[in-house]
Amino acid sequence: MTTMLLPGMPQNCGEPVFAEPWQAQAFAMALALHQRGLFSWPEWADALSKQIAAAQAAGDADLGDTYYRHWLAALEALVAVKGASSAAELARYRDAWDHAADRTPHGRPIELRSEDFSAP
Q: How far is CA 111 from CA 24, 28, 78, 107, in A?
A: 19, 21, 26, 12
With a threshold of 0.75, does the pTM exceed it?
A: no
- Find the domain containing 53 and state its range: 20-103+113-117
- Dihedral (C-alpha) 41, 81, 84, 64: value to the nearest 10 degrees? 50
Structural domain contains residue 50: yes
Q: Residue 58 has what pLDDT?
A: 94
Pure H helices in 2-116: 21-35, 41-57, 67-81, 87-103
- Cα angle vertex 91, ends 89, 92, to 5°? 60
Q: How far apart are CA 37 and CA 11, in angstroms?
A: 26
Structural domain contains residue 88: yes
Structural domain contains residue 70: yes
Structural domain contains residue 2: no
**44, 34 in Cβ contact below 8 A?**
yes
Structural domain contains residue 41: yes
**pLDDT tens digit string along 18-75?**
888 888 899 999 999 999 999 999 999 999 999 999 999 999 987 878 889 999 999 9
**pLDDT tens digit string along 68-106?**
999 999 999 999 999 999 989 989 999 999 999 999 999
Structural domain contains residue 9: no
- Dihedral (C-alpha) 4, 6, 10, 15: value to the nearest 10 degrees? 30
**89, 59 in Cβ contact below 8 A?**
no
Structural domain contains residue 45: yes
Domains identified in the chain, total number: 1
Structural domain contains residue 92: yes
